[in-house]
Amino acid sequence: MEKHLKIAVFIDFDNIEIGVKSTLNREFDVAAVLEALKERGEIVTKIAYANWGRLETFTRQLSEHAVQMVQRDPSPRGDKNGADINLALDALEMAFTHDHINAFAIVSGDSDFIALVNKLKQYDKTIFVVGGRAFTSTILQKNCHEFISYENLVDGSGGRISPPPQPQHHRDEQRREQNQGPRQEREPRPPQQRRPVLDLAQAMPLVERALQVLERREVRPQLGLLKSTMLQLDSSFSEKAYGANSFTDFVDRLRKADYVLVTGGEGRYMIQRKHTAIAEKSIRPEEALPALRDVLETHRLEMEEGVLADDLAAWVREEQPQFDFTKFGFQAFGDFLNFAQDKSVVKNQPDEERGLMVYLGAEFHPPALPEPAPLPIPEEIVEEDEAQPVVPGQPTARSSTVRSAPATTTKRSRKSGGEVNGNSANAPVKRTVKRSGIKRPRKTPPPPGVMQ
């Protein structure tokens, strides 16, 4: 029995609004996101973070859906991660203090939230990520429990969503600019066309892998269990990418294409692999990068200043006519560029006015070689004087001055056995001194009774 999910929704509005506008040429519709999340559980709280002074046109739309709006005041240093930090702190606090909330939905495409996603998964929370495939990091798509593609949510609407009415001060600014004189305006971009449908054969490696997992577990592969296993193996899977409106429709398409065997009645379908079918060679998305590298190298000078994604797509079509990104599992060229950004081939920069700008990635700008380490200075070797033989009467190497021999020479005669000059070692030593010069007369003692 599936557990009932109580979902807390956190919206990085600045990121999702700019991403949708620059890649899909649409205005962000929060209603489509909330309706998709209601199909997966009960929404208990909804919080959006943005600089609402810049996004006044969306405040009424969010108020109608009871979304709590948290103001993010930009600092003078222009911190672009201010909303990311506030969102992460509030989400972790809610995970600690509200035990009944067992699922979190992060509406953003910023790869900085991967740390938050991993931390919430450690606390046994189900994580949904809602974003566009063209601007949501593939790392974030692959590490949540389910990635909900914004393109699939709005494809059924068809055409471009009309922007909400602008406030009075915006209209006054436009009227003031028109009164200043004619100016050259950029041609509006064409509305986003419906995304192409991928071939069912591209989904078969994932389907067969999920069926093999269920067979090893000795579990009967029903519809719901098969989809949950496929999402466990690849959280970015969506049956709508293959033109199906539901997972039942997706399995029915596989049966008609003779890829799987379906048995059982309605509501109790069992899916089995066709062992006789020859598995087609799966094409890895990395194999699409060489064609893009060749085009980027040809237009390296233009890429240094940045080009529109539409212009880059035109160069690829002209110089690589055989290249088809849909064969590698990408529904749109923007999805392919997003994958190339994670591989450091390009760098994508969403722009509200011009659209998606593409620059050369770190692969074309390798880091500078480190400066060679300075050669070590050899240490001075201090030469030590060796012991010099001592020669009597000769100066040694350590003597600072030459001393003259004494005028008198003292001779000592030593005998073995601890005697010196016939006396013991402890007795005072008698010295015989020879003196040269005039002999002094010996004094004779005075006669008795006479004082000296």
Domain ranges in the chain?
Answer: 1-164, 196-281, 285-364
Per-residue pLDDT tens over the stretch 277-312: 444 556 788 899 999 999 999 999 888 888 999 999
Are the beta carbons of 128 and 103 closer than 8 angstroms? yes
Per-residue pLDDT tens over the stretch 165-201: 344 444 444 444 444 444 444 444 555 567 788 888 8
DSSP 222: B
| CATH number at 285-364 | 3.30.420.610
221-246 burial, b for 16+ CB within 10 Å, e for fewer? bbbeebbebbbeebbbbbbbbbebee
- β strands within 269-422, DSSP E: 270-273, 307-308, 346-351, 355-360, 419-420
Assigned token pair, 165: 């009415």
Percent of the chain past pLDDT 90, that is, above it, reads 34
36 or 3: which leads in pLDDT:
36
pLDDT at residue 29 above 80? Answer: yes
C-alpha 296/C-alpha 127 separation (Å) is 36
Q: What is the mean pLDDT of residues 12-32?
A: 90
For residue 451, name the pLDDT band (cuts at 50, 70, 90).
low
C-alpha 275/C-alpha 209 separation (Å) is 13
Same topology between domain 1-164 and domain 285-364? no
Task: List the single range of 116-125, 172-181, 310-319, 377-386 with lowest mean pLDDT.
Answer: 172-181
DSSP letters for 383-423: PPPPPPPP-TTS--TT-SSPPPPPSS------BTTTEETTE
Q: What is the mean pLDDT of residues 313-318?
A: 93
C-alpha 336/C-alpha 329 separation (Å) is 9
Q: What integer pLDDT is reported at residue 97 of this predicted model?
A: 94
Assigned token pair, 352: 């509200």
Per-residue pLDDT tens over the stretch 342-367: 898 999 988 878 888 999 988 887 76
pLDDT at residue 83 above 60? Answer: yes
Q: What integer pLDDT is reported at residue 416 of this predicted model?
A: 47
CA distances from 222 to 126, 185, 201 (A): 22, 56, 21
Assigned token pair, 216: 């090893």
Find, among 209, 203, 273, the residue nearest to 242 by Cα.
203
The CA dihedral of 340, 346, 350, 355, to the nearest 10 degrees, is -90
- CB-CB neighbours of 147 under 10 Å: 23
C-alpha 133/C-alpha 23 separation (Å) is 9
Percent of the chain past pLDDT 70, that is, above it, reads 71
| CATH number at 1-164 | 3.40.50.1010
pLDDT at residue 36 above 90? Answer: yes
Contacts of 141 (CB under 8 A, 6+ apart): 129, 131, 133, 147, 235, 236
Q: Is the pTM of this model over 0.75?
A: no
Q: What integer pLDDT is reported at residue 1 of this predicted model?
A: 40
Q: What integer pLDDT is reported at residue 164 of this predicted model?
A: 40
pLDDT at residue 449 above 80? Answer: no
Task: List the single range of 19-33, 289-303, 424-438 with lowest mean pLDDT.
Answer: 424-438
pLDDT at residue 388 above 60? Answer: yes
Angle at which helices 30-38 and 56-64 cross, to 10°:
30
Q: What integer pLDDT is reported at residue 221 of this predicted model?
A: 83
pLDDT at residue 2 above 60? Answer: no
CA distances from 68 to 50, 64, 76, 191, 261 (A): 11, 11, 25, 31, 48
Q: Does domain 196-281 have CATH number 3.30.420.610?
A: yes
Give the SS3 label for residue 163. coil
* Residue 138 identity: T
Q: What integer pLDDT is reported at residue 337 of this predicted model?
A: 92
